[in-house]
């Protein structure tokens, strides 16, 4: 297997790794008894220069036809988050909802005056007497990384708002600044953030507390992960600021928005319980 190379979504090539594949399956919460079966299946369909998107498709198809069909929902988390697009607005609501479930008081789309100009804050979060400015960077392409230019932009806004507080053009003091993105960050973006004291939360970074872990730890999957709903039905939920699948299960009134038949409703509820 070491001789077979895969092509990543960004065009890079790397050797196929059974260990890496197994880690991704395990991290998604796939049952132990199914993990070996998935790995064996992927090995059987490998070919030179296979795109990782094709491997991903094979995994989803296999999981969907397995004895744990709902496990494909967990594995398709990254794609489901990208389906919150095409604008970044639902992603901001999604991040705010995750933080709220983790004990933060949150507001979205807050406009504050800096020393030089006004800024729209994607998410303003408060916890433990600390106020946090959060910039959400959404991508709907798996191969795109958030680069250092974005990190520079976020830090410049943070510094202007801090200067505004010092000079009393606003009354909000920010103790921290975060950059949250649904894809990976470039090496330079991470290095700059570490140097400047900015927190990055992205796909797979940091090792603890990354976006994937925040979602899976409390099972805060977006409504876009639900295969029993059509794209139109998911849009209805998002347009009504319903971004977490768990919220549908805890508030059945949200089901009324979808105008489902009895069978469709039961199928959706079964999928939600499986999550």
Residues 82-128 have pLDDT tens digits of 999 877 789 999 999 999 999 999 999 999 999 999 999 999 999 99
Q: Are 203 and 184 within 8 A, CB to CB?
A: yes
Q: In a 3-state reduction of DSSP, which class is residue 68? A: coil
Residues 136-148 have pLDDT tens digits of 999 988 778 999 9
What per-residue confidence (pLDDT) applies to 2?
54
pTM beyond 0.95, yes or no:
no
Digit-by-digit pLDDT tens for the chain (275 residues) are: 557 889 987 788 889 989 888 888 887 778 888 888 999 999 999 999 999 889 988 988 888 888 777 777 778 888 899 999 877 789 999 999 999 999 999 999 999 999 999 999 999 999 999 999 999 999 988 778 999 999 999 999 999 999 999 998 888 899 999 999 999 999 999 999 999 999 999 998 999 999 988 998 888 999 999 988 999 999 999 999 899 999 998 887 888 889 889 899 999 998 888 87
Pick the CATH number of 82-217 from 3.40.605.10, 3.90.226.10, 1.10.3720.10, 3.40.1350.10: 3.40.1350.10
Distance of alpha carbon 181 from alpha carbon 166, whole angstroms: 29
Task: Looking at the chain, list the stretches that DSSP marks H as alpha helix, in order from N- to C-terminal side.
Answer: 18-27, 32-45, 52-64, 71-75, 77-82, 89-101, 148-166, 187-196, 211-217, 231-239, 245-250, 262-274
Q: Looking at residue 104, what DSSP letter applies?
A: -
């Amino acid at each position: 297997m070491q001789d077979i190379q895969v092509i990543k979504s960004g065009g890079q090539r790397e050797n196929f790794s059974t260990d890496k594949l197994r880690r991704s399956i395990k991290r998604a919460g796939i049952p132990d008894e199914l993990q070996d079966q998935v790995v064996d299946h992927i090995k059987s369909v490998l070919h030179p220069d296979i795109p990782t998107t094709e491997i991903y498709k094979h995994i989803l198809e296999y999981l969907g036809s397995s004895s744990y069909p709902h496990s494909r929902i967990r594995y398709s988390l990254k794609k489901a988050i990208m389906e919150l697009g095409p604008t970044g607005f639902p992603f901001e609501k999604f991040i705010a909802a995750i933080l709220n479930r983790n004990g933060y008081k949150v507001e979205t789309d807050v406009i504050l005056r800096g020393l030089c100009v006004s800024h729209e804050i994607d998410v303003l979060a408060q916890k433990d007497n600390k106020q946090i400015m959060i910039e959400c960077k959404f991508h709907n392409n798996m191969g795109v990384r958030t680069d250092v230019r974005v990190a520079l932009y976020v830090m410049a806004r943070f510094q202007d708002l801090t200067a505004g507080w010092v000079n009393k053009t606003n009354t909000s003091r920010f103790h921290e600044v975060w950059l949250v993105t649904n894809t990976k960050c470039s090496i330079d973006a991470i290095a700059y953030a570490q140097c400047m004291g900015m927190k990055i939360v992205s796909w797979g970074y940091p090792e603890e507390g990354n976006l994937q872990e925040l979602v899976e730890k409390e099972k805060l999957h977006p409504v876009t992960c639900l295969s029993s709903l059509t794209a139109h039905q998911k849009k209805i939920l998002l347009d009504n600021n319903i971004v977490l699948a768990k919220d549908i299960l805890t508030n059945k009134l949200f089901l009324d928005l979808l105008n489902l038949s009895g069978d469709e409703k039961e199928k959706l509820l079964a999928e939600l319980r499986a999550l």
